Amino acid sequence: MEFNSVLLRKLVDSFSPSGNENNVRKLIIEEIEDYVDEIKIDNLGNLIARKKGNGKKVMIAGHMDQIGLMIIDIDDKGFLRFTNIGGISPFLSINQRVIFENGIVGVISSEDIDDKNKLKLDNLYIDIGAKDKKDAEGKIGIGDTCVYLNSFYEDNDKVISRCLDDRVGCFVMIEALKKMKNVDNDLYFVFTVQEELGIRGAKTSAYKIEPDIGIAIDVTPAGGTPKSKRLSVTLGKGTAIKIMDKSLIVHPKLKDILIDMAEKNNIEYQREVLEYGGTDSGSIHLSREGVPSGVISIPTRYIHSSNETVYKKDVISSIELLKTVLNHEFKI
């Protein structure tokens, strides 16, 4: 399978922090509108694309939003103070460039503190090169948001970029959808909002759709680095089939179906057990009377940094598994 780097680059270059997903939503609509039967946007902003079938109602969810920063104060010298939108690490943010939606670029720096291990977001500020408060306020306002700024890099094996969490999941969904012609199940591809703030979009969209089955597509931490925590997943060994994370224990029958589909179709996979974190399936499986739910994960290093890293072969195997399982006759 050819790896569509052009599309993935467009997705990660789109400015769409949590609560402001409009840019990437427009891009996704342009990519998928010729491949689905109907497209709706719900009240929270989730993009719901339906490909009609007569079988089980299956909800496939991947989140559009990315982590970011929101300005809460501008001091007399024109430096910007901020709060986090999602999981922002003070340590990883030092000396990172950020970009606002209007194109203004700044650099995150910190106050002088004796012990960098005690660094908190309160110690950080953004320098946009303003002369003073008035100059800064002419460019940026309270409540404006920004995201990490970094260039997209790829070679034959890997991609390094910001916000592969979860634009690579959206990419997997789009590429699988494009390769599906006649479908047996009634498929709802849901590109969710505000996952980074507590899997909010998946909650409202699952309530609306009332799916029989839920499948989230998201990144998962990959181990194998020096002195890293013991993790069941690493780069370059295929897609990951989740068994558990902090938000979900995957329905055993759905877990078995995913594993069976991978093995029967010679799709390389890994079993994933994660002691923390969660995905959209964490909300989907609790919707209404409960929804059997699972997760197809893309192994990723350096999540929530500006240099998230995936292997192309793992992304491709995730596409293949999703495409294959969606035509399965679910009996759960």
Known binding-site residue numbers for Zn(2+): 63, 165, 196, 218, 304
**Using one digit for the tens of pLDDT, what is the confidence trace for 25-81?**
999 999 999 999 999 999 999 999 999 999 999 999 999 999 999 999 999 999 999
| C-beta separation of 285 from 276 below 8 A | no
Instruction: Find the CATH number of the domain harbouring 98.
Output: 2.40.30.40
- The model's pTM is 0.95
What Å distances lie between residue 12 and 25, 57, 123, 166, 278, CA to CA? 12, 30, 28, 9, 21
Instruction: Find the CATH number of the domain harbouring 201.
Output: 3.40.630.10
Report the C-alpha gap between 298 and 272 in whole angstroms.
10
Report the C-alpha gap between 98 and 107 in whole angstroms.
6
Question: What is the predicted pLDDT for the residue at 117?
Answer: 76
Same domain for 32 and 173, yes or no, is yes
Question: What is the predicted pLDDT for the residue at 118?
Answer: 81
**Using one digit for the tens of pLDDT, what is the confidence trace for 288-308?**
999 999 999 999 999 999 999
Same domain for 239 and 212, yes or no, is yes
Question: What is the predicted pLDDT for the residue at 92?
Answer: 92
Report the C-alpha gap between 46 and 63 in whole angstroms.
9
Same domain for 209 and 320, yes or no, is yes
Same domain for 183 and 90, yes or no, is no
158-161 and 153-154 as β-strands: parallel, antiparallel, unpaired? antiparallel
Q: Can you list the alpha helix ranges (DSSP code H) found in 14-71?
A: 22-32
Phi, psi of 187 (to 5 degrees): -100, 130
Which H or E run contains 72? Answer: strand 68-74
**Using one digit for the tens of pLDDT, what is the confidence trace for 156-208?**
999 999 999 999 999 999 999 999 988 999 999 999 999 999 999 999 999 99
| C-beta separation of 319 from 175 below 8 A | yes
What Å distances lie between residue 256 and 128, 242, 267, CA to CA? 52, 11, 14
195 counts as catalytic: yes
The number of distinct structural domains making up the chain is 2
Tell me if 282 is assigned to some domain.
Answer: yes
Same domain for 49 and 115, yes or no, is no
Average pLDDT, the chain: 96
- Say yes or no to pLDDT of 155 above 80: yes
**Domain span holding position 257:** 5-66+162-325
Report the C-alpha gap between 280 and 291 in whole angstroms.
12
Question: What is the predicted pLDDT for the residue at 231?
Answer: 87
- Say yes or no to pLDDT of 115 above 80: no
| C-beta separation of 322 from 282 below 8 A | no
Average pLDDT over residues 269-275: 96
Question: What is the predicted pLDDT for the residue at 228?
Answer: 79
DSSP 261-300: HHHHTT--EEEEE-SS---THHHHTTSTT---EEEEEEEE
**Using one digit for the tens of pLDDT, what is the confidence trace for 139-149?**
999 999 999 99
Look at 116 and 278; give whichever has higher pLDDT: 278
Average pLDDT over residues 82-99: 96
Report the C-alpha gap between 214 and 189 in whole angstroms.
10
Question: What is the predicted pLDDT for the residue at 23?
Answer: 98
Question: What is the predicted pLDDT for the residue at 130?
Answer: 97
Which of 21, 195, 308, 320 is the catalytic position? 195
Tell me if 332 is assigned to some domain.
Answer: no
Encoded amino acid at 81, one letter? R
| C-beta separation of 81 from 74 below 8 A | yes
Question: What is the predicted pLDDT for the residue at 255?
Answer: 97
Same domain for 119 and 205, yes or no, is no
- Between 127-131, 224-228, 258-262, 301-305, the lowest mean confidence (pLDDT) is in 224-228
Tell me if 87 is assigned to some domain.
Answer: yes
CA 302, chain centre distance (Å)? 13
Same domain for 16 and 90, yes or no, is no
Tell me if 330 is assigned to some domain.
Answer: no
Report the C-alpha gap between 168 and 152 in whole angstroms.
13
Known binding-site residue numbers: 63, 165, 196, 218, 304
Residue with tokens 């998962």: 220
Same domain for 318 and 186, yes or no, is yes
